[in-house]
């Protein structure tokens, strides 16, 4: 009997270990600074001053029904709470599933100057799972009359530009 109990115990431990591995991926925010009140948004790397430093790379998921103005409010609040002076907005795609608001961070482990930024090369596997392209640019950003009937995933970089 003790052999059967031992095998059952090992099998249970193995199942628990496998179940723990299958859980959701945890996204830790990483670096942060004292909060800022004003966060400027830009859409091209060339608009970022050279003294700025990258301290967070993330995907922002916004639920269906959000307006361009709400995008600004949500991203500015998150970026400001983490100490960003500026955010660089990348490409946007439709989220294939109904989604809640989420911020999925991909590092970095240390801040670095914008001139060292390698581009939108983080979270590639996750990015490939997203749906069609969503046009969110200067004309849509902050525009309350523009609404998105689908969840949106955006590439974003948080920048610290003060000395």
- What is the full per-residue pLDDT of the chain (163 aa) written as tens digits? 565 554 444 444 443 333 333 333 335 667 899 999 999 999 999 999 999 999 999 999 999 999 989 999 999 999 999 999 999 999 999 988 888 899 999 999 999 999 999 999 999 999 999 999 998 887 888 888 888 899 999 999 999 998 7
Asked whether residue 2 is domain-assigned, the answer is no
Asked whether residue 126 is domain-assigned, the answer is yes
Asked whether residue 6 is domain-assigned, the answer is no
What range does the domain containing 124 cover? 30-160
**Distance between CA atoms of residues 18 and 25, nearest Å:** 14
Asked whether residue 130 is domain-assigned, the answer is yes
Q: Which residues of 56-65 are buried (b: 16+ CB within 10 A; e: fewer)?
A: bbbbbbbbee
Asked whether residue 82 is domain-assigned, the answer is yes
| Domains of the chain: total | 1
Render 105-128 in DSSP notation, one character per residue. Answer: E---SS-EEGGG---S-SSHHHHH
Asked whether residue 47 is domain-assigned, the answer is yes
């Amino acid at each position: 009997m003790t052999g059967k109990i031992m095998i059952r115990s090992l099998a249970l431990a193995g199942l628990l270990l496998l179940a723990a591995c299958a859980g959701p991926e945890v996204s830790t925010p990483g670096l942060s600074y004292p909060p800022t009140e004003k966060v400027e948004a830009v859409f091209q790397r060339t608009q970022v001053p050279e003294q700025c430093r990258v301290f967070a790379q993330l995907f922002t998921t916004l639920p269906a029904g959000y307006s361009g103005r709400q995008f600004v409010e949500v991203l500015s609040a998150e970026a400001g709470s983490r100490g960003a002076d500026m955010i660089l907005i990348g490409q946007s795609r439709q989220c294939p599933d109904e989604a809640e608001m989420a911020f999925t961070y991909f590092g970095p482990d240390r801040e670095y100057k914008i001139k060292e930024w390698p581009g939108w090369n983080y979270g590639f596997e996750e990015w490939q799972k997203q749906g069609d392209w969503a046009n969110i640019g200067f004309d849509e950003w902050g525009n309350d009359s523009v609404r998105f009937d689908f969840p949106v995933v955006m590439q974003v970089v948080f920048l610290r530009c003060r000395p």
